[in-house]
Chains A and B, each alone.
Chain A
Amino acid sequence: MSADLSLWAAPVAAAQVVLTWRRLLAYLRYFQQEGYDARRFVAWVGVRPLIDPAFWLVIASTWVSARPVRAAVLFTVGALALALLQPDSRRSGKITLKMTWRAIRIVTVAAVLAAALWISWVAVSAPAIRPALVASALVLVSIPFLLVVANGLLAPYETTVQQRYREEATAQLRRVHPFVVGITGSYGKSSSKAMLAHMLQFKAPTLAATGSINTVMGLTRHIRENLIRGHEYMVVEMGAYGVGSIRRLCDFTPPHAALVTAVGDMHLERFGSLENIFVAKRELAEALPDGGVLVVNADSANALRIAQTVPNRRALLYGESSSANLDTRLEGVRFTKEGTAFVLRTRSDEYECFTPIHGRPIVLNLTGAFTLAVALGMHPEVAVASFRTIRPVSNRLEVVEDRGITWIRDAYNANQYGFRAALEVAAALPVARRVLITPGVIELGAVQADVNAKLSQEAAAVCDATLVVSETNRAAFEAGHRAAGRSDRLTAVASRTDAFRWVGEHVKPGDLVLLENDLPDLYEHTEGFFWPGSHTPGDSR
């Protein structure tokens, strides 16, 4: 028996270590994407460990454990093969695992826990192959939960560290004392922030984070690393994850002026009701000082209601369709492949404008940013001149020509209004045929099916072919196309990889492809998790 033990123990343990490490990294990527929120992560994990081929490999090995060497060889070879086959989550996938110090801490503690679990199980059982394999099965099934436990164990430490960073950021903010502009809205926060910062940079040194930093933790890091004496403006995106979250952000970076781009039904599931969304967004207006500039989109009834219900602010209204008495009105929007031409009418003047970005909502956001910049004393002509040098944000209604094919990349949009805006641009551009690739929109609660069916029906009128990706909204899209009498224009595909394969086979120069709302990995078929997924062409993110 002891001779046997020495034969299998080392390779089995080594294979287990390699496999466990790879699986830890694979799950960690999704834990990180969920912001280390245990509830959301566990909901995503579900029964996934049970469909892990490695788990079934262990079961199979246990089956033949009457012959220890055979079982050990099967497990060792199989586990190493599976470990090697698994794509590296730090390099592959749409959103890769970022090995931050926090991620390293969590994965290290989880690895120690896994080792402890395995060793203690083997120790209390007999040192034989079968208990070792049972321990392996146990570890494999519990890997995602070990990450959660590790995160829990580290929580007091993380809190202390975050608290210290936060104090440093607050102190830096007090030293520099920039004029803080807060931006919120159900959509268009990031783009409005980027456009406002683009304009303000020509007035005074302005700090705005690139990308969507909109949490206290994200802002803390941003301020500590980038805010320096001399910055006169800081533009902050204020994301609402529920009632109270904007208030917390405003306590941290008290705004002097605010822009509310829209209050709509995005993330309705998370908020519970439209009224809650309204209350959550209004917190930004409430945080302003008396007389503080509050710019709101009057086209959005609930945004307008914010301006009407928070007294003692210098409210300025902008919009396109609103019948209210506007401070800036957007008119005459025209789309070309090069960009968008439009007119801004203020109370005193009228400006002919052009910008290389596309889409009615973003031009409306630009109108809001313009209104705010001018209210802060910027020369309107300088602001208008700066429109021409705004760069499109990658994957936000970005029009790109590639080998004769016009791509509208709108992968990061996630709502029906952006969806419609992209369809409108697609319809306006002069192309031969139009192809839409989308999984539909999500997080809409009870109305999700209706909204997607409506979008599908509208898409059928514009697009010669629509590829609906994944199961999530397939039925709704089929219903929408049926209602439009265009069922022949709809193709259902399992994954974006399949969609791109279809594009490779069918799309010709002169055509247009609209990539709409490419869902995060969480909602798509988890191809490439245990096995290598195939390469996605045309994906140059």
Chain B
Amino acid sequence: MSAPGVTPSRVAAVLFGGRSLEHDVSIVSGLQIVHALDPAMCTPLPVYIDQQLRWWIGDDLWHTESFKRGGPDRSRLTQVQLGPGFGTSQLVPVEGRNDPIPVDVFVPILHGTYGEDGAVQGLLELGGCAFVGCGITASALGMNKRLTKVLAVNAGVPVVPWKSCERSALDRGTAWMRDLSTGVEQSFGWPVIVKPCNLGSSAGVSVASSPDELSAGLLKVFEYDVEALVEPFIKNRLELNVAVVGLDEPVASVSEMPATSKASILSFSEKYKREGGKSVGSSQGMAGALRVLDPQDLPEELRLRAQSYATTVFRALGCEGISRIDFLIDGDDGALYFNEINTLPGSLAFYLWSAAPHYWTITELLNRLILRAERLRAIKRSLQRQPPPDLQLFG
């Protein structure tokens, strides 16, 4: 028993890496969070998930240096897996007889597929673990741009119109592409954006200005995803991002305008590499990217509306933790559109809380989120699990 007033330290396992295009970005984000966790609140345990989805722990995992040149030296790490059995919440070494490591709370900092899409969240739910961030449903919905749009529209948030098509349509040849082209031309006009429905990064995204480019764009998408979205390209566009943190009530951050927003499109390298060609290998990561926080030249009404839409979308999807909601502003008519949601944004978008009115550090936010994760787990655990008599078939 610990002395009264002293909270025993928790072990917080930070999961990063993963099997997605954003594996490297996740390492940078994950290590930022490892170093940002409050030592008074918890003991961080970095858990690196490699491209083969093997989980590793070890002292080397604290530094970005270890991840250069082909990744950390596995011989100096211990491979672990989530312990079997509901509610055990421990990491068990795969080989050897080392004791399992009890984990109090998991902090998934995984971007993209198999991490941000509900897959890891499902695993943690199966283990009855407490974890920070969105659950299965919100994660899975947030990864699917079409479903998010449907939910946003349903909640009264305007979105850019879209057409979607599935890769399996290729089995019927390309006649449908011509029909789609005609439809796109009539409803949207050229150019259009062609993008994967289910990816978080800019990979596979292209701008098409003709039927030929549209079909090329679709095939490019189909190398990454089985569903493609086509949207009108807003020529005079501005991007506006708002983060929302799920506390007792969802709270919106100030908005940011990525400085590259005037460019026609964010390419993967633009999105994840900073000016001067320096890659995300630096510990600053996304925080160093060029952006304008709380852009004062935007009308107050627009900023407030973006924040209100952001919390609406956050609620509509049932999000937890910190999500970043991205908007587009049509510079010609000032229309504001919800574009997409990142349920596990790079660096947890912590820089968005560094300005008035919040001035929350990422450390403070993580403390609150960990407490909330524990509370949510306890609520879920205390839900009625006793089957009613008619379901008790074996007495």
Contact = CB atoms under 8 A, between A and B. Distances in A.
B194 to A, nearest CB: 11
Interface stretch (B119-127, B169-177, B321-329): B169-177
Interface string B271-300: 000000000000000000000000000000
Interface in A332-383: 354, 379, 381-382
A321 interface: no
Contacts of A203: 170-171
A389 B194 CA distance: 14
Contact of A389 (B170, B174, B220): B220
A201 B219 CA distance: 10
B166 to A, nearest CB: 12
Interface in A451-510: none
Contacts of B222: 202
B216 A382 contact: no
A378 to B, nearest CB: 9
A388 B219 contact: yes
A386 interface: yes
B202 interface: no
A379 B169 CA distance: 12
A202 B170 contact: yes
Interface in B186-219: 212, 215-216, 218-219
Contacts of A382: 170, 173-174, 219
A301 interface: no
Interface in A203-262: 203
A107 to B, nearest CB: 17
Contacts of B177: 381, 385
Contacts of B212: 354, 388
Interface residues of B, number: 16
A174 B215 CA distance: 37
A202 B219 CA distance: 8
A385 B212 CA distance: 8
Interface in B343-386: none
A381 B219 CA distance: 12
A389 B223 contact: yes
Contacts of B170: 202-203, 379, 382
Most B CB within 10 A of own CB, among A379, A388, A389: A389
B375 to A, nearest CB: 42
Interface residues of A, number: 11
Contact of B216 (A201, A202, A389): A389
B223 A201 contact: yes
B220 A385 contact: no
Contact of A379 (B174, B219, B223): B174
Nearest to A204: B171
Contacts of B174: 379, 381-382, 385
A323 B174 CA distance: 32
A304 to B, nearest CB: 31
A389 B219 contact: yes
Interface in B150-182: 167, 170-175, 177
A496 B220 CA distance: 37
A528 B244 CA distance: 56
A381 B216 contact: no
B220 to A, nearest CB: 5
A385 B223 contact: no
Contacts of A201: 223
A205 to B, nearest CB: 11
Nearest to A383: B174
A197 B280 CA distance: 33
B191 to A, nearest CB: 16
Contacts of A386: 219
A201 B222 CA distance: 9
A201 B226 CA distance: 12
A471 to B, nearest CB: 35
A388 B174 CA distance: 14
Nearest to A352: B212
Contacts of B171: 203
B347 to A, nearest CB: 29
A202 B220 CA distance: 11
Given A201-B223, A202-B222, A388 B216 contact: yes
A381 B171 CA distance: 11
A388 B175 CA distance: 18
A354 B219 CA distance: 14
Nearest to A381: B174
A388 B218 CA distance: 11
Of the candidates B177, B218, B219, the one having the most CB atoms from chain A within 10 angstroms of its own CB is: B219
A381 B167 CA distance: 15
Contacts of B167: 202
A382 B212 CA distance: 12
Contacts of B215: 385, 388
A355 to B, nearest CB: 10
Nearest to A388: B216
B167 to A, nearest CB: 8
A201 B212 CA distance: 20
Contacts of B173: 379, 381-382
A381 B170 CA distance: 10
B125 to A, nearest CB: 27
A171 B218 CA distance: 37
Interface in A72-108: none
Contacts of B220: 389
A381 B216 CA distance: 11
11 contacts: A202-B167, A203-B170, A354-B212, A379-B170, A381-B174, A382-B174, A385-B177, A388-B215, A389-B216, A389-B219, A389-B220
The 10 closest A-B pairs by CB, nearest first: A388-B216, A381-B174, A379-B173, A385-B215, A389-B220, A202-B170, A389-B219, A386-B219, A382-B170, A382-B174
Given A388-B219, A389-B220, 6 more contacts: A201-B223, A202-B222, A379-B170, A381-B175, A382-B173, A385-B219
